[in-house]
Amino acid sequence: MERALAVPRLPPHDPGTPALSVVDMHTGGEPLRIVLAGCPEVVGPTLLAKRRYMRQHLDHLRRRLMFEPRGHRDMYGAVLVPSELPDAHLGVLFLHNEGYSSMCGHAVLALGRFAVDFGLVPAPPAAAREARVNIHCPCGLVAAFVECEGGRSRGPVRFHSVPAFALATDLLVDVPGRGKMVVDIAYGGAFYAFVSAEKVGLDVCSAKTRDLVDAASAVTEAVKAQFKINHPESEDLSFLYGTILTDGKDTYSEEPTTNICVFADEQVDRSPTGSGVTARIALQYHKGLLELNQTRAFKSSATGSVFTGKAVREAKCGDFKAVIVEVSGQAHYTGTASFIVENDDPLRDGFLLK
């Protein structure tokens, strides 16, 4: 009979560097690594100030968690922090391969389940079918609604977005090596450029991912160079997060419309992209292609996973006419981990292959 190995709680590591304990989830295939313990206090009077503090003082933790050998170039993360908003149950900072996002829909869907199951909100009554979780994201307060059974999460989650709006439509952009093309820019907690993949000579449903990434990245860089992004309420939110290539099927249909989102440093979203769905719904509503409470399905060309979205009511963001968008999707748990550091590890804070 083989002798069982005695497994220590943690392997040898630097005792001065706390282990980072995480819960891993995914939503439609897009990962989310939620930090449970080990992160130092993130200082700041507001969530946006905390975001700036983490970027300036704790960025090595982002690299340690997102990059290889503990992660990969498409890993996504969340650090939970206190919120200054009285109605918020929790605040969150989003991590990716380049830095810190202002909004992440797939993460909100996962965090809704996590907040219920890990006691971050009052336990829902056993008979309750849904629990509300108010999540303060850098873009603002987002309400998640979590299906429950027996006081625990189950099934899909939906969220109501911050006011989403079209920033620019039919914008002519000169993309080096690809020519001039018309793009739209819309906001769903983050700004995205939207263009039909057909305009860059690709089929979003069948093209190689590398080709889609190259095309989307070229559009992103061209828009950044030729168009100034301005959010009406905050300079912290005034940046282009990425480009979403679509199948061009913007007119309402009961059939899913397919897209792929390439954001940050050529990071590929495996899900249909929650904030991207929000922005795309706002864009379609702005163009008169959707009515209020008309639900559309959005399919990821990367994994085939599906989110649904609908504009639930009109709103304002500065002088922009906007809508509140409801996005629904399914998140799943995948595991837990504790990440450590050894003093003599030259790659302690991670690396990425280009």
Active site residue ranges: 104
* Strand 20-27 with 77-81, pairing: unpaired
- Give dist(CA 64, CA 351) in Å, integer: 8
Find all residues with CB under 8 Å of 84, minimum gap 6, and list them.
Answer: 45, 46, 47, 91, 136
User: Quick check: helix, strand or coil at residue 147?
Assistant: strand
User: Which sign does the torsion angle of CA 86, 48, 259, 165 carry?
Assistant: positive
Q: How far apart are CA 113 and CA 133, in angstroms?
A: 9
- Considering only the C-alpha atoms of the chain, give the largest distance between any 2 of them, rounded to a whole number of Å: 74
Q: How far is CA 121 from CA 86, 111, 134, 149, 218, in A?
A: 13, 11, 9, 15, 42
The amino acid occupying position 350 is: G
Token pair in block for residue 326: 């409801």
Helix (H/G/I), strand (E/B), else coil: 215: helix
Give me the residues paired with residue 77 across strands. 33, 95
How far is it, in rounded angstroms, from Cα 311 to Cα 186? 14
- Residues 314 and 325: their CA atoms lie apart, in Å, by 9
Q: Pick the closest to residue 289 from 326, 252, 248 (CA basis).
A: 252
Contacts of 29 (CB under 8 A, 6+ apart): 270, 271, 300, 302, 303, 305
Question: Nearest to residue 311, comparing CAs of 302, 322, 303, 297?
Answer: 322
User: What is the identity of the amino acid at 338?
Assistant: S
